[in-house]
Every structure is written in C-alpha cells, then in structure tokens.
Homo-oligomer: A and B are copies of this chain.
Amino acid sequence: MKEAEIEAAWHGLASCSRCQIQDLVLFADLTPEDFGAIHLPIDDLWLPPGAVLYRAETTQTSLFTLREGLVKLEQYLPDGARRIVSLAGAGAVIGLEAMLGTPYEHDAVALQPSKLCRIPTAVIQRLSPKLNQALMRKWHDSVRTAHACLRDLSTGAARQRVARLFLQLAPPEIPRCRLFGREDVGALLGVTTETASKTVAEFKRQGVIREIAPNLFERDIDALNRIADGD
C-alpha cells in the first residue's frame, strides 16, 4: 500500500468572485460586497492522485470545496478493514464537520488529480446566514451521495455494482470515463480487490467497456444499464 502523504501544493489565493464553477460551490449567492468582506486567505490547492487532503481524527478550522477531480472519503472497521463510504466529485464540499469544531470523520484522499479550495470556517461563519441555504444544500448533498453509495454501489451482485459504478463515473452523454485502482474499487463496492479486477476484466472481454488508455474507458451505456438492473 502506497502512503503518499504529500503536502498539498499551495497554488495561490483564490479569486472566488471569478471562479468558473461558482454556482456549483458555496458562494453562489454572494454579492461583490460580500466577497470584499472575506478577509481570511482562501488557499488554492492541487492534489495529485493518492495525496491525502486530511486524516480522520484530526481537527482543523477549514473545509474544502472540490472544483475539479475526485476524492474518496474512507473509514476503518473495528477489524482494520478499509471502506470507502463516499465519493466526492466536482462541486462537493468536504470536511463540513469542521463547522461544528469536531474532528474530521474520514481520511480524504484524491483518486484523480483534483483542484480544491481551503476555506476557513470563520469565513463561513462571518457570511452566515447569507450562506445558510447553500450550506444546507451542501450538507444534504453529502447525505444523498452517502445514500446513493449504499443503494447503488453496495447492493446486489458484484457485476451490478461495477456496472453502476461505471455509470456514475461520468454523465451518460459522455461515453468516456476514468477509473481508479482496483483496490479502491473493491473498497468502494464492498468486494475484494480480486473480484473488482475480475469483473472489470470480464466487462472488457465482453465489450461492455473498452480500455483506451490505462484506466481510461469508453462505455456502452445501454449494456451497463442492462447489467445494473440485473442482466
């Protein structure tokens, strides 16, 4: 197991008011004056795959918005087994629990090259209640993706789970998607690394997916949908 505890690369102060995905993230409803009232630094981060954003049990005074990429949130079972309990994609807010002053609940690790912003909780508190609605929406998103993870990725036979994962990795109109390591696929779907590998390999042989480059796949959406619904 690779332990790439890379210190997040500081890229510079973010200019939130000109953020391309502003409406996706937290500050959608803010006015120019509001932006002026932000006096704390919002760091701009870039994380390579495998880099750790934060560790469970640690306490910080920041939360993170994911502008681009994919981040896994993982926890450990009493017997030491590792389980990915949620995937965070572009627009997601990670580490919301910092708003409560409590320690982080997961290890947060990049699965794909990711761009994020580190936002001090004090900034949120100052702009509250203006951000209230947006914050609730983000919190709700966390619940929804957790439930989706359980419902779609941890239910049914292994081939159904893998099919549903491939369907979730990109919008249906884009045939291509990028996958990550088999060990992580297993930890996400609740199966062994070997089963994950075997199932992906089987899909390749059956032509349901086609590997264009290492871990870059072209998907047959219809076929995947059929498998996801139980052959």
Contacts and interface: CB of A to CB of B under 8 A. Distances in A.
A176 interface: no
Contact of A144 (B83, B105, B225, B230): B105
5 contacts: A77-B155, A81-B155, A83-B150, A99-B136, A100-B133
Contacts of A11: none
Interface in A119-138: 128-129, 132-133, 135-137
Contact of A147 (B79, B128, B146, B229): B146
B143 A78 contact: no
A85 interface: yes
Interface in A66-82: 73, 75, 77-79, 81
Interface of A: 73, 75, 77-79, 81, 83, 85-86, 96-97, 99-100, 102, 105-106, 128-129, 132-133, 135-137, 139-140, 142-144, 146-147, 149-152, 154-156, 190, 225, 228-230
Contact of A77 (B143, B151, B225): B151
A129 B136 CA distance: 13
Contact of A143 (B99, B143, B151, B225): B143
B228 A78 contact: yes
B137 A105 contact: no
Top 4 A-B residue pairs of the complex, sorted by shortest distance between their CB atoms: A146-B146, A139-B139, A85-B147, A79-B229
- Residue of A73, A78, A228 with most chain B CB atoms under a 10 A cut-off: A78
Given A129-B132, A229-B78, A150 B154 contact: yes
Contacts of A128: 129, 132
A151 to B, nearest CB: 5
A73 to B, nearest CB: 8
A132 to B, nearest CB: 7
A166 to B, nearest CB: 14
